[in-house]
Amino acid sequence: MDERFRGLGVYPADILLPQGCDLKKWAVVACDQYTSQPEYWQRVERFVGTAPSALHLILPESSLDGPNVETDIMDVTNTMSRYLRDGIFRTCPSALVYVERTLASGKVRRGLVGMVDLEEYDYEPGSTSLIRATEGTVLSRIPPRVAVRKNASVELPHVMVLADDPAGTVIEPLSEDKASLETLYDFDLMEHSGHLRGWLLDQERQGRVAEALRALADPAAFNARYGTEALPVMLFAMGDGNHSLATAKACYERQKTLTPPEQWAALPARYALVELVNLHDGSLEFEPIHRVLFGVEPKVLLADLVAAYPGAREGMGEGHVLRYVHADGTGAVTVPHPSAQLPVATLQTFLDRWLGAHAGRIDYIHGADVVRSLASQPGNLGFLLPPMGKEALFPTVIHDGVLPRKTFSMGEAQDKRFYLEARRIR
């Protein structure tokens, strides 16, 4: 293990990259996107065909409840083994990869691919770990994902971890050095999702990254930055993929029960490949994650929402304004004097309780236009939520703990991380 990074929660990794194949067909978007739009994944399947692709190494979340899920999982694990056997991957040992993702908007998001130590990550509320969840983890979502990962030989990350680095000391300097670094990939992504480029860091640049991270992790500087006293350092916060990292953590904890403690550090499952992004990256915009209810009577649910909170009423007003849309029109419910800090918490608390007693299904949707389209169908109801300022993320988690689940998203669905790099986990 690289001693320069000890105690920082992130390390260089033996990164696998596909070789000898069409990268546009290889790279596909995160598995938890377009869950209520099966036509997206159908288009991807037609485009990829039988070509080598990350599509064949993942299981879209929309398929986790499918009738053939066990067979699908077996196909994924078998394909992983075949790709390894057939030399589809080449290895970049002890690597950090500087990434530039040109988004559909034209903005460029900069990141750094490496692996995090799962011993430094805890998704439980009230955690004081170096790497923390930013929103509530839905425990019921972990077992289906564990079923996919537990026998997998490789992982492909869509996890994005955030650093609060307003001065741009860790990642931004790499942009100036890229002309002298080895280019690993440079290609257009499918489905009009922009462009992706990556460069391999040399040892000197790796050392600079470690020094910059160590400065951010200094306890005195941390407490001064957030107006705290003697609190444990929170160096990284989850941006995207919390449930995927929680799944990796669950699989690692299971392996620990089967392995002597002195061997835990050598377990490949102890680490998980991620992309590190600066919270203050100019391209990074926090988008709200909206809610769509399926198979409900919209007017009944809305009446129950009004009745659930003292003084709540139809229409706009002072308090938390919960805007909705359904087949018969649009409107809003105002909840005055809310006990929660954010409108999403007020809404989610009610929806969790309501769905526990009524039929219906909820999905979490990126993009207001998609919400309006889905909610226009009879029996569906959409809620449109306001965005959260990203500058509030670290202070809120440090002082108050995790946010309600699915509070924010880093960009629209097409801007999510695409699977490209991989790492052996067995």
* 387 neighbors 393 (Cβ within 8 angstroms): no
Taking Cα atoms as reference points, which of 277, 238, 263, 232 lies closest to residue 114? Answer: 277
Per the CB < 8 A criterion, the answer to whether 382 and 372 are in contact is yes
Q: Which residues of the chain have pLDDT under 70?
A: 139
Q: How far apart are CA 197 and CA 186, in angstroms?
A: 4
pLDDT tens sequence across 357-370: 999 999 999 889 99
Write the burial class of residue 332 (CB in 10 Å: 0-12 exposed, 13-18 middle, 19+ buried): middle
CATH number attached to the domain at 286-410 = 3.30.1760
Which two three-digit tokens encode residue 62? 């929309």
Q: How far is CA 9 from CA 12, 164, 203, in A?
A: 11, 15, 18
Q: What is the dihedral of CA 354, 356, 357, 358, to 10 degrees?
A: 70
For residue 65, what are the contacts with CB-CB under 8 A and spacing of at least 6? Answer: none
Instruction: Please report, for the chain, the start and end positions of each structural domain, with discontinuous segments joined by +.
Output: 3-285+412-424, 286-410
Q: Which of 382, 373, 361, 370 is nearest to 295 (CA)?
A: 361
Query: CA-CA distances (angstroms) from residue 388 to 131, 154, 273, 285?
Result: 21, 35, 27, 10
Residue 101: in which H helix or E strand, if any? strand 97-102
Q: Are 216 and 10 contacting, i.e. CB atoms less than 8 angstroms apart?
A: no
Report the candidate in 209, 200, 232 with the shortest Cα–Cα distance to residue 219: 232
Rg (CA), the chain: 22
CA quadruple 227, 229, 231, 236: dihedral sign: positive
Which pLDDT value is given to residue 75?
A: 95
HSE-CB of 380 using CA atoms within 13 angstroms: 19
The pLDDT value recorded for residue 345 is 86
Q: Tell me the two tokens of residue 159.
A: 């996890």
The whole-number pLDDT of residue 125 equals 81
Structure tokens at 423: 């790492």
Report helix, strand or coil for 80: helix
Span 208-246, pLDDT tens digits: 999 999 999 999 999 999 999 999 999 999 998 888 999
Q: How far is CA 353 from CA 240, 341, 350, in A?
A: 26, 19, 5
Contact by Cβ (8 Å): 136, 408: no
The one-letter code for the residue type at 191 is: E
The predicted structure's pLDDT at residue 97: 98
d(C-alpha 340, C-alpha 342), whole Å? 6
Beta strands 13-18 and 89-95 are: antiparallel
